[in-house]
Amino acid sequence: MFIKNSWYVACRPDEIYGKPLGRQICGQKMVLYRGSEGQPVVLEDFCPHRGTPLSLGFVKDGNLVCGYHGLEMGCEGKTVAMPGQRVSSFPPIRTFPVIERYGFIWVWPGDLDKADPALMPTFEFFDNPQWAYGGGMYHVNAGYELMIDNLMDLSHETYVHSTSIGQPEIDETPCKTVTEGNRVITSRFMENIKAPPFWRMAMRANGLNDEASVDRWQICRFTPPSHVMIDVGVALAGKGGFDAADEDKVYCVVVDFITPESDTSHWYFWGMARKFKPNDPALTYSIREGQGKIFGEDMQMLEQQQANLLNYPSRRLLKLNIDAGGVHSRMVIERILSEQSNAADAHA
């Protein structure tokens, strides 16, 4: 099951440039495109004539034309024309609320009357000249909750990302997990250590001595339905760690928008926002390439994990204290799903 009454990242704007895009979100087939005024539109990916996916068609004058028999669908889900046919009595197909913000197209797959732009998450680093952002997208053949587990427990970095951001001190430093309403926060602070390769590169880029000892932090923040923001960085040892002055640290936020496709697959919109050298496009590109490889390592591990879980459905998995972030995040998801189910039963 999925949390339906929430905003999810559906795609990047370039994915619907001049053409429709078919995408499944929370188990629902959708088609995304731009209308006559350039606004994003999201409809059910179903032609009311013969059931063909409308995403196989094309956009003409702001209408979506079915690629099978030429039926034209308006932005409100109503059939507006079809060559040589009278189609005014065709029932409308479902439309989905949509917002374009922060460089993404967001969709609300739940109840139409509950969609509220005010419920959109807010972020200090998007559209902020003090920050730079670079990211990408992966399609991952693993359930979205496995990705949340992965991001809320960064102890795997020592092993999965040993050549970039991993180091033994992660294992040696305990983490703390707290739940605040529907938010789960897991934090780890490492003091007076040497920075791993990725952070040495970042230190050099910000004019810091990459051989110097540092204080390092990882603060993972889960917010439903499936967003994880991770404060990461290093500061020169003894300068205040996370609270150090900008000139004494390199500070980033790992951005993770996780959009469920099915029970065993999801769309992963990843990126990194940084609060140093924001006007350096070469640095943005370098960090993006590095992060892309790191996230690719996660994807390989998660897909093999999902395959194993499907092959051994009755095997009981063990839990350790390092799993607290993922466990508490799943508890939040389960509570919201229960509330969603109870509300549906009440209106049945």
DSSP per residue, 10-29: EE-GGGGSSS-EEEEETTEE
What the block records as the tokens of 277 is: 């050298």
If we measure between CA atoms, which residue out of 275, 7, 305, 6 comes closest to residue 148? Answer: 305
Q: How distant, in Å, are the alpha carbons of 81, 185, 279 from that of 181? A: 49, 11, 37
- Structural domains present in the chain: 8-118 (2.102.10.10), 127-338 (3.90.380.10)
Residue 145 in contact with residue 31, Cβ under 8 Å?
no
What is the pLDDT of the chain when averaged over all its residues?
Answer: 92
Task: Report the percent of the chain where pLDDT is more than 70.
Answer: 98
- Please tell me the distance from the alpha carbon of residue 327 to that of residue 149, in angstroms, as a whole number: 7
Q: Exposure string (b/e) for 195-223, b if CB count within 10 Å is 16 or more?
A: bbbbbbbbbebbebebeeebbbbbbbbbb
Range 69-81 average pLDDT: 91
Question: What is the SS3 assignment for 154?
Answer: helix
| pLDDT for residue 318 | 83
Q: In the predicted model, is pLDDT for residue 344 greater than 80?
A: no
Q: In the predicted model, is pLDDT for residue 347 greater than 70?
A: no
pTM: 0.93
Residue 215 in contact with residue 237, Cβ under 8 Å?
yes
Band (pLDDT 50/70/90 cuts) for residue 311 is very high
Q: Where are the beta strands (DSSP E) in the chain?
A: 8-11, 21-25, 28-34, 40-44, 58-60, 63-65, 72-73, 79-81, 98-101, 104-107, 132-140, 176-180, 183-194, 213-223, 227-236, 249-262, 265-274
Q: Which residue, chain included where needed, has tokens 């972030």?
A: 325
| pLDDT for residue 86 | 81
Range 63-87 average pLDDT: 89
- Please tell me the distance from the alpha carbon of residue 229 to that of residue 307, in angstroms, as a whole number: 27
Q: In the predicted model, is pLDDT for residue 77 greater than 70?
A: yes
| pLDDT for residue 81 | 84
**Predicted confidence (pLDDT) per residue in 237-288, tens digit:** 999 999 999 999 999 999 999 999 999 999 999 999 999 999 999 999 998 9
Range 110-122 average pLDDT: 95
Residue 197: alpha-carbon gap to chain centroid: 25
N-term to C-term CA, the chain: 18
Q: Which residues contact 317 (CB under 8 A, 6 or more apart)?
A: none
**Predicted confidence (pLDDT) per residue in 24-65, tens digit:** 999 999 999 999 899 999 999 999 998 999 999 999 999 999
Sign of CA dihedral 149, 153, 154, 158: negative
Range 124-148 average pLDDT: 95
Residue 44 in contact with residue 29, Cβ under 8 Å?
yes
What the block records as the tokens of 280 is: 């350096």
Using CA atoms of 42, 47, 52, 58 in order, give the dihedral in degrees to the nearest 10.
-60
**Predicted confidence (pLDDT) per residue in 177-211, tens digit:** 999 999 999 999 999 999 999 999 999 999 999 99
Which pairs count as long-range contacts for 294-297, CB under 8 Å and 24+ apart, including other chains?
294/161, 294/164, 294/165, 294/198, 295/136, 295/138, 295/268, 295/270, 296/138, 297/160, 297/161
